[in-house]
Amino acid sequence: MAKKVAFMQGNEAAAHGALYAGCKFFAGYPITPSTEVAEVMSAELPKVGGKFIQMEDEIGAMSAVIGAALTGAKALTSTSGPGLSLKQEIIGYGCITEVPCVIVNVMRGGPSTGMPTGPSQSDVMCAKWGTHGDHPAICLVPASVQELFEETIRAFNLAEKYRTPVMIMPDEIVGHMRERIVFPEPGEIEVINRTTPSVSPEQYKPYDTKFGDVPPLAAFGSDYRFHVTGLNKMEDGFPTTKASIVQAEEERQVRKVEANADDIIKYEEYMLDDAEVVVVAFGSTSRSARFAVNEARKQGIKAGLFRLITFWPFPEKQILALSKKVKAFITPEMNLGMCTEVVKGCVAGNAPVHGIFRVDGEPINPDQIVDKMKEVK
């Protein structure tokens, strides 16, 4: 049977990816350029018996998402810059309480109201450092409509597998572009569900490390009842200030993601075998970068592309390895150097890192990148 093919917008594809992953709850608050995710969910969720609610603000939306996720539902919210800032306290709550959920953040210019309809890539630091305190961070940065669909499924899988909020951050261009998309059949892409307890309700502890760094999570309204708090907690979910427990729990929460970085990190290598100048890029910028690499090759420059698909955890190992064999890195991005700083940290001085930054609401075009290649090669 021929597969279902459509011409679809990125944001719509994110919503359909969530539905494919089994999402049954959405809470959000309208904001450009992410609103289409909410609109599709409002139409599609009730058809499958799911629930959609438009909340009074983004804090409420994030809160409702975590409440719903605790009943066992796969839950989603979508937003953009200002809304992401508002959600941050509750994202931290999701991290410390270890509740799986997914946040689609379509990046627009900032800070503050910034440029609501202009593309940007300036929220990637907010994905890791936006909420206070040490916490795990997973952030995916797709570059096409097809990839936004598939990475949204992966975002749910990672959230469920590692019991933590996961962010997926298309830039406005990826969120709003329309492309051909081929839908996988049900079952074709793996869908992961959280591990539920195997012990009896009497023995159940929501943070029981006997089961490893990602303890099973029961659902409210099942045979299990338990306590959830944003205070530092013990295995049984109750607050504690005992130094050794707080230290161990904080470390475990971060470790469960960091130690599994290889499972979470996804990237694409393009023409890297003999590359001397390597572009590290993500989202729509990586499309310009691929074009630039092709152009440069025609002009005799040995260029290549390292395309980030996972932004956090960052592929530190891979960039470090590359830095030992290339002459220079170029990091084009629609912000004032966020990814560039991270890459500089990874290369440990082995190679220079040249940023190309744009925050004027215009995409970075291939010529800019080719010019930079000529300059640094």
Give residues in contact with another protein (CB under 8 A). Answer: 24-25, 27, 43, 46-47, 49, 51, 53, 55-57, 59-61, 63-73, 75, 89-90, 93, 220-231, 238-239
CB of 233 to another protein, least distance (A): 10
Residue in 310, 319, 295 with CA at minimum distance from that of residue 367:
295
Rounded least distance, CB 133 to another protein, Å: 13
- 3-state SS assignment for residue 51: strand
Q: Residue 65 has which token pair?
A: 């998402």
293 Cβ contact partners less than 8 Å away, ≥ 6 residues apart:
270, 271, 279, 303, 304, 305
- CA distances in angstroms from 308 to 3, 47, 339, listed in the order given: 28, 35, 10
Smallest separation (angstroms) from another protein to the CB of 369: 43
Q: What angle do CA 168, 65, 165 make, to 5 degrees?
A: 40
How buried is residue 137: exposed, middle or buried, by Cβ count under 10 Å (0-12/13-18/19+)?
buried
DSSP string, 20-46: HTT--EEEE---TTTHHHHHHHHHHGG
Q: How far is the CB of 53 from another protein (least distance, A)?
A: 6
* Shortest Å distance, C-beta 79 to another protein: 15
Residue number with CB closer to another protein (25 or 312): 25
Nearest distance in Å: CB 29, another protein: 11
Residue 10 vs 82, nearer CB to another protein: 82
Distance in angstroms (rounded) separating the CA atoms of residues 163 and 166: 9
Tokens of 252: 């475990």
Q: Which two tokens stand for residue 103?
A: 């946040």
Residue whose pair of structure tokens reads 């969720």 in the numeric block: 45
- Rounded CA gap, 285 and 45, in Å? 32
Residue placing its CB nearer to another protein in the complex, 53 or 192: 53
Q: 204 or 282, CB closer to another protein? A: 204
CB of 92 to another protein, least distance (A): 8
Would you say 46 or 212 has its CB closer to another protein?
46
Looking at the Cβ atoms of 71 and 203, the one nearer to another protein is 71
Q: How far is the CB of 224 from another protein (least distance, A)?
A: 7
Q: Tokens 């839950």 label which residue?
A: 75
Give the residue from 111, 166, 71 showing the smallest Cα distance to 338.
111
CB of 242 to another protein, least distance (A): 15
Distances (CA, A) of 264 to 137, 138, 162, 171: 11, 8, 10, 20
Tokens, residue 92: 């931290």
69 or 305: whose CB is closer to another protein?
Answer: 69
Taking the least distance from each CB to another protein, the nearer of 212 and 239 is 239
Cβ at position 36, least distance to another protein in Å: 18
Which residues, including other chains, have CB under 8 Å from residue 153's CB and lie 6 or more apart?
Answer: 17, 18, 20, 21, 189, 191
Choose between 71 and 299: whose C-beta lies nearer to another protein: 71
Spatial CA neighbour of 172 closest among 337, 22, 335: 335
3-state secondary structure 259-274: CCHHHHCCEEEECCCC
Nearer Cβ to another protein, position 41 or 137? 41
- For the record, the structure tokens of 271 come out as 């023409």
